[in-house]
């Protein structure tokens, strides 16, 4: 019947401290003793709305309208300050029900604010009461707006984090498939050939065809050497991708992230040295990950050119950096410093432009 307690439920309990006012109001003579029953029912209704599961949602409208009726009755009949209790309903609207302005709960909430504000003008001529009711109304609406905005931003962040996790999983899966395919294509054929050569050599030995067996063993030895070389090549490829391979992978990742990627390169990528290839690939990957995970960009442009070394520019239309201190992207700065490179943020936002200059641009 009730959902389990969650970490963010603490905020619901903190607001219950305001119930001290109607309780103390009974002892100070503002409210009759029997209003304690109404306050107790209000508390129960509030907590039930917090913890009832979806299967029991048919009770929610009754509980919701009771809390509004309680606030109206206590405010109009006894003490206008009870209007502050509308914050309980704001809390529920935003965090429990996640209601839009088109929901029946939000509409009834607005009607309640209108009734409370109107009654303060109709029932009293006190200016301070009028100002208080208007202030509470505006504050309540502002509270709903800003808290709802915070909630939506959190949902967007959670959705983005989930998307990033999916992208990372797909990237890892793609890399595993690539490794498996390379090993299968390379070693599978090799081991099959070695098995055949070995069986043939054994049969030839049994028949005392030593020269033929020797020839097969020599071929077997050469196959083994070739296989060792091919395995080393696979291992080396696992250590880093070429720039061309990395750009192809980035196109796939950006496509998954719904970010339009444009690549403008005037470099002959094939003549870059292994060190430059490795460094550029790592920088491309890290800058791309930052854009996908943090920038909220719709488009990105990568430019590669040569001018006293290798120039790499990343430009995107995302949120960028709030401020530039020179310590941003420190892991990339450390990596490129090993090859006498530097990084500059040419524009911190709208657009964000990052330039990487590698003075090492040697050939293979």
Helix/strand/coil (H/E/C) assignment for every residue in the chain:
CECCCCHHHHHHHHHHHHHHHHHHHHHHCCCCCCHHHHHHHHHHHHHHHHHECHHHHHHHHHHHHHHHHHHHHHHHHCCHHHHHHHHHHHHHHHHHCCCCCCCHHHHHHHHHHHHHHHHHHHHCCCHHHHHHHHHHHHHHHHHHHHHHHHHHHHHHHHHHHHHHHHHHHHHHHHHHHHHHHHHHHHHHHHHHHHHHHHHHHHHHHHCCCHHHHHHHHHHHHHHHHHHHHHHHHHHHHHHCCCHHHHHHHHHHHHHHCCCEEEEEECCCHHHECHHHHHHHHHHHHHHHHHHHHHHCCCEEEEEEEECCCEEEEEEECCCCCCCCCCCCCHHHHHHHHCCCEEEEEEEECCCEEEEEEECCCCEC
Range with lowest mean pLDDT among 28-42, 182-196, 260-274: 182-196
Is the per-residue pLDDT at 190 higher than 80? no
Is the per-residue pLDDT at 52 higher than 80? yes
Other CB atoms within a 10 A radius of the CB of residue 44 amount to 12
Residue 183's pLDDT band (cuts 50, 70, 90): low
pLDDT given for residue 37 in this prediction: 96
Question: Average pLDDT, stretch 318-344?
Answer: 82
pLDDT given for residue 363 in this prediction: 38
pLDDT given for residue 236 in this prediction: 59
Percentage of the chain modeled with pLDDT above 70: 88
- Distance CA(112)–CA(101), nearest Å, equals 14
pLDDT given for residue 86 in this prediction: 93
Q: Where are the domains of the chain?
A: 7-123, 165-239, 243-358
pLDDT, tens digit (0-9, with 9 covering 90-100), for 89-136 = 998 998 888 888 899 999 999 999 999 999 989 888 888 888 988 999
> If you search the block for the tokens 């029900």, which residue do you land on?
97
- Distance CA(281)–CA(335), nearest Å, equals 11
Question: Where is pLDDT greater, at 56 or 86?
Answer: 86
pLDDT, tens digit (0-9, with 9 covering 90-100), for 133-166 = 899 999 999 999 998 998 888 888 888 777 777 7
Question: Average pLDDT, stretch 168-195?
Answer: 70
pTM of whole model > 0.75?
no
End-to-end CA distance of the chain: 69
Residue 361's pLDDT band (cuts 50, 70, 90): very low
Residue 327's pLDDT band (cuts 50, 70, 90): confident
Report in angstroms the alpha-carbon separations of 117 from 32, 130, 144, 171: 24, 8, 17, 57
Question: Where is pLDDT greater, at 190 or 100?
Answer: 100
Handedness of CA 163, 91, 93, 107 (dihedral sign): negative
Contact between 242 and 331 under an 8 Å Cβ cutoff? The reply is: no
Nearest to 96 by CA among 39, 151, 157: 151
Question: Average pLDDT, stretch 63-89?
Answer: 93
Fold held by 165-239: 1.20.5
Angle of helix 210-239 relative to helix 189-206, nearest 10 degrees? 160
- Distance CA(305)–CA(115), nearest Å, equals 68
Is the per-residue pLDDT at 178 higher than 70? no
Dig out the tokens for 291 from the structure. 């854009």
- Distance CA(21)–CA(148), nearest Å, equals 27
pLDDT given for residue 42 in this prediction: 95
Find which of 173-177, 190-194, 309-313 is predicted with most confidence, using mean pLDDT: 309-313
Is the per-residue pLDDT at 199 higher than 60? yes
Residue 189's pLDDT band (cuts 50, 70, 90): low
pLDDT given for residue 362 in this prediction: 40
Is the per-residue pLDDT at 352 higher than 80? yes
pLDDT given for residue 239 in this prediction: 53
Per CATH, the architecture of 243-358 is what?
2-Layer Sandwich (3.30)
Domains 165-239 and 243-358 share a fold: no
- Residue 179 CA from chain centroid, whole number: 28
Contact between 281 and 239 under an 8 Å Cβ cutoff? The reply is: no
pLDDT, tens digit (0-9, with 9 covering 90-100), for 235-291 = 655 555 788 888 888 888 888 778 899 999 888 887 877 778 878 888 888 898 888
Contact between 194 and 219 under an 8 Å Cβ cutoff? The reply is: no
Instruction: For strands 341-348 and 310-316, give the pairing.
Output: unpaired
Percentage of the chain modeled with pLDDT above 90: 31
| Sheet order of strands, 299-306 included | 260-265, 299-306, 310-316, 352-358, 341-348
């Amino acid at each position: 019947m009730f959902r389990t307690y969650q970490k963010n439920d603490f905020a619901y309990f903190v607001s219950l401290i305001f119930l001290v006012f109607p309780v103390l109001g009974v002892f100070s003579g503002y409210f009759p003793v029997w209003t304690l029953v109404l306050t107790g029912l209000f508390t129960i209704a509030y907590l039930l709305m917090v913890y009832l599961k979806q299967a029991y949602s048919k009770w929610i409208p009754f509980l919701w309208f009771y809390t509004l009726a309680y606030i109206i009755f206590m405010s109009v009949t006894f003490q206008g300050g009870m209007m502050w209790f509308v914050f309980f309903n704001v809390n529920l609207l935003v965090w429990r029900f996640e209601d839009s302005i088109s929901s029946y709960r939000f509409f009834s909430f607005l009607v309640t604010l209108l009734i409370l504000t109107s009654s303060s003008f109709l029932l009293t001529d006190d200016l301070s009461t009028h100002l208080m009711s208007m202030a509470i109304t505006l504050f309540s609406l502002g509270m709903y707006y800003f808290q709802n905005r915070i909630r939506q931003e959190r949902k967007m962040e959670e959705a983005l984090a989930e998307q990033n996790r999916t992208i990372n999983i797909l990237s890892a899966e793609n890399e595993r498939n690539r490794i498996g395919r390379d090993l299968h294509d390379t070693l599978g054929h090799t081991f099959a050939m070695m098995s055949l050569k070995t069986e043939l050599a054994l049969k030839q030995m049994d028949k005392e065809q030593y020269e033929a067996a020797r020839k097969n063993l020599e071929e077997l030895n050469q196959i083994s050497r070739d296989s060792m070389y091919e395995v080393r090549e696979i291992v080396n490829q696992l250590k880093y991708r070429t720039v061309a391979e990395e750009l192809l992978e980035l196109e796939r990742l950006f496509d998954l992230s719904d970010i339009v990627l444009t690549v403008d390169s005037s470099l002959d990528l094939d003549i870059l040295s292994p060190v430059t290839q490795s460094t550029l690939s790592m920088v491309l990957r890290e800058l791309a990950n930052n854009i996908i995970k943090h920038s909220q960009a719709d488009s990105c442009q990568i430019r590669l050119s040569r001018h006293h070394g290798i120039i790499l520019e990343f430009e995107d239309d995302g949120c960028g950096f709030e401020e530039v201190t020179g310590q941003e992207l420190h892991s990339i700065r450390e990596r490129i410093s090993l090859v006498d490179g530097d990084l500059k943020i040419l524009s911190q936002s709208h657009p964000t432009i990052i330039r990487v200059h590698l003075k090492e641009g040697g050939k293979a």
